[in-house]
Amino acid sequence: MNPTGTARTAWTFWKPALRQLWLPALVFGVLLVSTAGSTSFYFPPLTEVLDVLWTELLHGGLVGDLWFSLRNIVLGLALATVVGVGAGLVIGEVRTLRLATGPLLDFARATPTVGFVPVIILTLGIGSGPKIFLIFLGSVWPILLNTVSGVQAIGPAVHETARGYRIPWALRMRRVVLPGALPQILAGIRVALSIAVVLMVVSEIYGSPIGLGNFILQSGSSFHVAETWAGTILIGVLGYVLSVLLLLVEHALLGWYHQRAPRARRAVRPPTPPTQLTSTERATSNGVVV
């Protein structure tokens, strides 16, 4: 951040912004132009797709669909966060528990929650509840595992200090362990988000009366091509907006983490040798989708 002079600040902001925006803008422009006069059935003009999207949002029931799906995913993720962080903190702190449940948790993480969709939906019905449950089921593992990993990564010096000053257990969890594990926890939530979006779509497949996933499925099977593209774009936007929101939350909560020099960062997170749970995403959110 350049504090000297607003004019220079504006330029230092816009220069990198332009460098990052030129290619996406170009791609968008190319898409716009190349599909402009398209008569292909499967690739309607981008303008038409956007037009349909707008209409559906304003007049069709798309807002209702959007709201339904959004509500489910937020509730599912919130539940997964509470359970995942809570259980993760406990498992991370108690060494025996961590060692004992390691392979089980890895296995649970590796199981595709998508597989549970037919089972849950066909037995528990098409309401909100089962969907939220499915989203929860899929999202809880990365959060839990990353919480455990985050707790483990807290340097021994921190624990020793807390012990030396005889900090009581509850206070220690609240003000030492939880903040210390927070970077990893948030990375886990980021991964969980992408899983949650997928499950949100998939859970609406079996004749849910409303919902974004249902919308694109119905449009697809009734060959309303423009609507299908429109709905797909909307889902993408939803996912992107949610991840940006998460990024904002991260910046608000982790100001102390990001501002330090990388070397200082590693003082809190020393390189730990491979443990039982190395299959967890160690602060990576690099595109694990399902």
Partner 1 sequence: MASSPTGSSPMKGSLMGGSSTGRVRLLQLGALAAVLALWALIAAVGMVSSTALPGPASVAAAFGDLVGSGTFWQAVGDTLRGAVTGLVVAVAVGIPVGLVTGVYAAAEESSRLLTEILRSFPVIALLPVFLLVLGSTPGMKATVVFIACVFPVLLQAQYGARSVTPAVHETVRSYRVPRLLRFRRVILPGAVPSIMTGLRLAATTSVLVAIGVEVLTTLPGIGHMIMESQQAGVSARAYAYILTAGAIGYAITMLAQLAEQRLLRWRPPTHPGGE
Partner 2 sequence: MTRGSSLHVEGVGMSFGRGAQEHRVLGGLSLRVDPGEVVCIVGPSGAGKTTLLRCLAGLTPPTQGAVRYGELPLTAPHADIAVISQDYRGSLLPWMRVWDNVAFPLQGRGVKKAVRRQRALECLEAVGLGDVGEKYPWQLSGGMQQRVAIARGLAYDAPVLLMDEPFGSVDAQSRFDLEDLTLELRRRLGITVVVVTHDIDEAVYLGDRVVVLGGRPTAVLETLTIPLGADRDQVTTRADPRFTELRTRVLSRIRGERAPTDAAPDSRPEARPEVTRK
Q: How far apart (Å, rounded) are the C-alpha atoms in residues 50 and 220?
A: 17
| Binder of residue 36, out of partner 1, partner 2, none (CB less than 5 to 8 A by kind) | none
Q: Which stretch binds partner 2 (CB under 8 A): 1-9, 63-71, 151-159, 276-284?
A: 151-159
Q: How far apart (Å, rounded) are the C-alpha atoms in residues 60 and 69?
A: 16
| Binder of residue 5, out of partner 2, partner 1, none (CB less than 5 to 8 A by kind) | none
# binding residues, partner 2 (CB under 8 A): 26
Among 18, 20, 160, 240, binds partner 2 (CB under 8 A): 160
13-52 footprint of partner 2 as x/- string (CB under 8 A): ----------------------------------------
| DSSP 8-state secondary structure symbol assigned to residue 165 | T
- DSSP H/E element including 90: helix 62-93
180 vs 239 by CB, closer to partner 2: 180
Type of residue at 226: A
Residues 6+ apart with CB under 8 A from 193: 77, 139, 239, 242, 243, 246
Q: Which of residues 166-195 bind partner 2 (CB under 8 A)?
A: 166-168, 171, 175-176, 179-180, 182
Query: What is the phi/psi pair of residue 206, to 5°?
Result: -85, 75
Least gap, CB of 183 to partner 2 (angstroms): 10
Q: How far apart (Å, rounded) are the C-alpha atoms in residues 165 and 182?
A: 23
CA 185 to chain centroid, in Å, comes to 12
Least gap, CB of 59 to partner 1 (angstroms): 22
Among 2, 111, 161, 278, binds partner 2 (CB under 8 A): 161
Q: How far apart (Å, rounded) are the C-alpha atoms in residues 92 and 97?
A: 8
102 vs 150 by CB, closer to partner 1: 102
| Binder of residue 165, out of partner 1, partner 2, none (CB less than 5 to 8 A by kind) | partner 2
Residues 6+ apart with CB under 8 A from 73: 135, 196, 197, 200, 242
Query: What is the phi/psi pair of residue 211, to 5°?
Result: 125, 150
First to last CA, the chain: 37
Least gap, CB of 247 to partner 2 (angstroms): 19
Residue 258 as a binder of partner 2 (CB under 8 A): the answer is: no
Least gap, CB of 282 to partner 2 (angstroms): 19
Under the rule (CB under 8 A), what is the footprint of partner 2? 155-158, 160-161, 163-168, 171, 175-176, 179-180, 182, 256-257, 259-261, 264, 267-268
